[in-house]
Amino acid sequence: MIARELSDEQTDTIEAKAAEAAEQGIGGRIWKQDDTVWGPAGQEEVSNRLGWLDIANRLFPEADELTEFARRAAQDGMTDVVLLGMGGSSLAPEVLRTSTNPVMGFLRLHVLDSTDAGAVARTMGAVDLHSTLVLVSTKSGGTIETLSAFKTFWEAHPKGEQFVAITDPGSALVSIAEEHGFRRTFLNDENIGGRYSALSYFGLVPAALIGLDVGELLSSAIREAEACAGDDPEENEGLWLGCALGALAEAGRDKLTWIVDEPFGALGLWLEQLVAESTGKEGKGILPIADEPLGAPDQYGEDRVFVHVENAAVGHDEHAAKLAALAAAGHPVLKIVTDGTPTDLGRLFFLSEYAVAAAGWALGINPYDQPNVAEAKAATSEVLEELQKSGELASEDDGAVETVLDGVASPSYVAIMGYVEPSKEFDAAIAELRVAIRERTGCATTFGYGPRFLHSTGQLHKGGPATGRFLQLVHPVADDVKIPGTSYGFETLKAAQATGDLRTLRAHDLPAERVTLDGDPVTAVHALTSTIKGGS
């Protein structure tokens, strides 16, 4: 079971919710795919979103065939695979990629989930297109970022046998794949939502291509499913975790702070989408905090829950002292132990999906819909339509970081949204910025690259508790990459997405400011950090 350090009051709060779950038979009803767990029968995006529960069992017989598919690609001269996807189509593969070393006889994985022209150019320049498989991955088949990237790769190297699709039956991508002679199209179970699809083809095909043991990955998930059986939360760890997170959120501790040991550090990105998009609606929600450096207890408000995903294979716990201090100060601290092997991700994926589904019940919301995600997409389309009519790209004036931070305090949070080329150097600069904000305000902070976060925490920003302050960082790239078949390039698309999201936040009366990062973006963020420290 999940280790826990809780106060008596926190224990009582969780036990009350767990007793309610047991009385209502929530554990068994979830397994029976009873959609009334989350509201009235026949709710849209409930009854047709429960395929994740048994997908590991259903795809296990295909494990060897997936591995053989990957081997054949390597035998045909493929050395790399570029995955084009967003949100649920890209985050689990990124976790798998960063959690394992290259395997001889299989492919190197690159994930492109950005509309930054620099990121597109860098990804294309990192591979030899003559020996690269391009994996076009989108549930809906119509994701603008994914299809724009596909058009770009296809124009550069129009060889159908080097393209593979993963999508739902009947999507537009099915027709595109047929017309272009793709090597293969994997039709995923349409009864699985994107953020619950890690153990479906969306996660398993990339896993096979990089040489992971797909059978063991699924076996790990199946074993965890068995640990999540039954109605007693003390014997069903997924149900207990969901009850705990839901009950603590209702009690005001709605900032779920993940501390994830390597090699699973990127798991936080996947957990962000799963938690935020599932729970952030109807003014409720659990805000996931990933990649935030741990601090002293006095830097945190009473809105935090800490969950440590510990790698037992490391032999020492670098976070133990700080987490012990946090527990001693009254913060709830939970611990999930992993053996550190890449295939143990199957267990972590399933446990997290089950727990978040249970937390949805505990909060009284539907964890399978995303009612506000379409708003930013529509706003982006409006900006692009304005461009077509006027020939000019609409923008927003720059604001000041002080406007975002003025008067902010826990339980508010500060969301930093970076429309920037992803890099380790920028990540490090952002980590320093987040610490500076936390030390000054005591608030939780999040960071997401745009447009990736629009498919993740963006739902909670608009649909969750109205406690966010939003700082949008935009770095223009001079050398654009044209999107074939359109009159604009990726930089224009990125700018339209940034402007569209800013408009959407403000339409919800949420405080949001833009800061343009001129010159080197890392240097610009360091300057912001210095400004914040100077204003403390």
State pLDDT tens for residues 283-309: 999 999 999 999 999 999 999 999 999
Residue 484 lies in a domain: yes
Assigned domain for 381 exists: yes
Q: How far is CA 81 from the centre of its chain?
A: 21
Q: Is residue 368 part of a domain?
A: no
- The H-assigned helical ranges of 317-450 are 320-328, 345-363, 373-390, 401-405, 424-441
Residues 83 and 140 in one domain: yes
Q: Please tell me whether residues 348 and 253 are part of one structural domain.
A: yes
As a whole number of angstroms, the distance between CA 273 and CA 457 comes to 6
Residue 38 lies in a domain: no
Residue 41 lies in a domain: no
Whole-angstrom distance, CA of residue 44 vs CA of residue 395: 36
Residue with tokens 């591995």: 67
CA–CA separation, 417 vs 439, rounded Å?
19
Last residue of a domain, one of 174, 199, 218: 218
Last residue of a domain, one of 199, 218, 237: 218
Is there a single domain that holds both residue 377 and residue 358?
no
Residues 454 and 519 in one domain: yes
277 alpha carbon, distance to own chain's centre: 9
Structure tokens at 500: 């569209």
The answer to whether residue 68 sits within a structural domain is yes
Give the residue numbers spanning the domain of 114: 55-218
> Do 253 and 346 fall into the same domain?
yes
Residues 352 and 422 in one domain: no
Question: Which tens digit of pLDDT belongs to each residue from 223-258?
Answer: 999 999 999 999 999 999 999 999 999 999 999 999
* Same-domain check for residues 306 and 450: no
262 and 211 part of one domain: no
279-315 in b/e form (b: 16+ CB < 10 A) is bbbeebbbbbbbbbebeeeebbbebbbbbbbbbeeee
CA-CA distance, 515 to 530, in Å (whole number)?
Answer: 15
CA distance 463 to 280: 6
Residues 60 and 209 in one domain: yes
* Judgement on whether residues 282 and 264 belong to the same structural domain of the protein: yes
Query: pLDDT digits over 448-485, tens only?
Result: 999 999 988 999 999 999 999 999 999 999 899 999 99
Is residue 536 very low, low, confident or very high in pLDDT (cuts 50, 70, 90)?
Answer: low
Q: Of the residues 188, 218, 248, which one is the last residue of a structural domain?
A: 218
**Pairing between strand 287-289 and 304-311?**
unpaired
Residue 31 has pLDDT above 60, yes or no: yes
The answer as to whether 180 is a domain residue is yes
Note whether 48 and 190 are within 8 A (CB): yes
Of the chain, the percentage scoring pLDDT greater than 90 comes to 90
Q: What is the mean pLDDT of residues 74-101?
A: 97
Domain count along the chain: 3
Distances (CA, A) of 455 to 84, 110, 497, 522: 14, 19, 12, 24
Q: Would 270 be classed as within a structural domain?
A: yes
Q: Are 240 and 233 a contacting pair, CB within 8 Å?
A: yes
pTM over 0.85: yes
How far apart (Å, rounded) are the C-alpha atoms in residues 28 and 281? Answer: 25
How far apart, in whole angstroms, are the C-alpha atoms of residue 126 and residue 82?
A: 10
